[in-house]
């Protein structure tokens, strides 16, 4: 099926030309610093890693994915030469590189490196292994972002590769739900179950343990496995109640899956960032299974088509429900404000 690419402003594959020009001096300066280190410390001087990571960031913001991937490949060579291919430190670095590759749209390369990292860390049973397991699953969330499907308020900004939306695929169709299930692979299920098990037993801060359990719950909620998700949410809430001065993240619903309307994806990217925004605002209820219901349109400045698309997206969305004492409750009066340029 033919794909159409829509570039999001700033953080995704294409950027405003004036912004790119402003960043070029920083990129050139970083390249000079890397060359100085190579001349003084050798081609594989480990001090390059920090600079290479910054280069990946700037190149990806500019939409220069090839340069970003090349910097990651060199970072991997530096780590392997410095720490040893089978070392724990190289495995941790590999997980970081894998995370970047997924954010750049290099999903299979990223997953392969996560698998290698996890295999080498398997006997560690610590937060580095937990991070690699979570990263392997998060790669699928990046893959959803590549199709304009948000899994958190930050997921589309975090993703730096091209954004693709399958042509003529209705968000409300079985084909859309099948696509989501296909991307959220069983491999991610197992990685997250392992991460949750380790989080329950490892020595982690309360905030970190709760964050792990929430990510696991959000994954299953996005897959529409509401009962499984609630078990992890309830476990997270129990740890919150045991901790001191840890805010409960389950007191209000949180969006964990939202297919951004196509009109919103393609309405702003090619235009000036100063273009005025218009909004569709909807009030609704988040039910205990994480689905939205009782929708009511409060504002539709761009017109009926935009409002209809936003309603369709909301009906396909999934939310982390409000939890009280480990039990999910309906929440009325939740609002979604969707911007269109």
Q: pLDDT at position 267, please?
A: 46
Of 81, 66, 116, residue with least CA distance to 96:
116
Q: pLDDT at position 236, please?
A: 96
Q: Does residue 15 register a pLDDT over 80?
A: no
Mean pLDDT of the chain: 88
Cα separation, 299 vs 244, in Å, equals 41
Question: What is the pLDDT confidence band of residue 274, given thresholds at 50, 70 and 90?
Answer: low
* pLDDT tens digits for range 173-211: 788 889 999 999 999 999 999 999 999 887 888 899 999
Q: pLDDT at position 275, please?
A: 66
Q: Does residue 92 register a pLDDT over 90?
A: yes
Per domain, the residue ranges of the chain are 3-340
Question: What is the pLDDT confidence band of residue 341, given thresholds at 50, 70 and 90?
Answer: confident
Angle (CA) 159-12-273 rounded to 5° is 135
The torsion angle over the Cα atoms of residues 130, 226, 235 and 219, rounded to 10 degrees, is: 20
* pLDDT tens digits for range 204-250: 888 999 999 999 999 999 999 999 999 999 999 999 988 877 889 99
Fold entry, domain 3-340: 1.25.40
Q: Does residue 114 register a pLDDT over 80?
A: yes
């Amino acid at each position: 099926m033919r794909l159409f690419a829509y570039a999001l402003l700033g953080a995704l594959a294409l950027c405003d030309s004036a912004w790119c020009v402003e960043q070029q001096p920083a990129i050139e300066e970083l390249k000079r610093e890397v060359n100085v280190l190579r001349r003084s410390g050798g081609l594989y001087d480990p001090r390059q890693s920090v600079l290479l990571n910054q280069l990946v960031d700037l190149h990806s913001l500019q939409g220069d994915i090839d340069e970003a991937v090349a910097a990651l490949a060199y970072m991997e060579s530096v780590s392997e030469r410095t720490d040893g291919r089978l070392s724990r430190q190289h495995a941790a670095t590999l997980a970081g590189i894998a995370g970047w590759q997924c954010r750049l749209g290099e999903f299979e390369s990223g997953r392969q490196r996560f698998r290698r990292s996890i295999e080498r860390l398997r006997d560690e049973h610590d937060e580095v292994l937990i991070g690699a397991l979570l990263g392997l699953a998060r790669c699928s969330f990046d893959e959803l972002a590549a199709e304009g499907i948000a899994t958190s308020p930050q997921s589309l900004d975090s993703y730096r590769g091209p954004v693709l939306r399958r042509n003529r695929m209705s968000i409300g169709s079985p084909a859309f739900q099948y696509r989501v299930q296909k991307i959220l692979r069983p491999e991610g299920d197992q990685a997250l179950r392992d991460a949750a098990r380790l989080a329950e037993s490892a020595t982690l801060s309360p905030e970190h343990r709760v964050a792990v359990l929430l990510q696991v719950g959000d994954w299953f909620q996005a897959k529409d496995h509401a009962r499984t998700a609630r078990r992890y949410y309830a476990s997270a809430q129990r740890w919150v109640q045991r901790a001191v001065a840890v805010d409960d993240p389950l007191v209000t619903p949180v969006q964990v899956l939202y297919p951004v309307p196509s009109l919103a994806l393609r309405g702003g990217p090619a235009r000036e960032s100063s273009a005025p925004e218009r909004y569709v605002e909807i009030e609704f209820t988040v039910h205990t299974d994480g689905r939205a219901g009782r929708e009511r349109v409060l504002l539709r400045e761009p017109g009926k088509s935009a409002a209809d698309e936003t309603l369709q997206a909301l009906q396909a969305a999934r939310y982390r429900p409000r939890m009280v004492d480990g039990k999910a409750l309906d929440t009325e009066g939740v609002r979604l404000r969707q911007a269109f340029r």
